[in-house]
Amino acid sequence: MILPRSVRDDLIAHAREEAPRECCGMLLGRSDAIVGAVRAVNLSESPSRFLINPENHIRARREARAAGLEMVGFYHSHPHSTAEPSATDLAEASYADYLYLIVGLVGGEADVRLYRLTGKTFERMELVLSA
């Protein structure tokens, strides 16, 4: 899956801005590329969970359609752990075949990983950064 460096950098910036809370948002693109992201308000009171504001979710779908794109997935951060899906992430993921991007900030270093929800598990995908 292709990811522009500028989008990756935006996602990392969002994660750092929201730390120590998790950030969240939606990914826009096509079947082979993520071309943009739309930030969402995290409605969760917990610092280690996220709940995407439904208004932001609807707005992202509309923006994608208007731009001739699709909403291809979601992103969130793990400010205190690795960029691997947690048991909570898996339990609450409900869009099969969508992409789930996680930004881990363990030790201040950003680690960006991409997964696809296939059935009841996350499958790690290769990310290819583009200019």
| Residues with catalytic function | 22
Q: Which of 46, 120, 35 is nearest to 85 (CA)?
A: 120
CB 19 within 8 A of CB 77: yes
Structure-block tokens of residue 129: 């950064």
Q: How far is CA 111 from the centre of its chain?
A: 12
Q: In 10 A of CB 46, how many CB atoms?
A: 11
Q: How far apart are CA 33 and CA 5, in angstroms?
A: 12
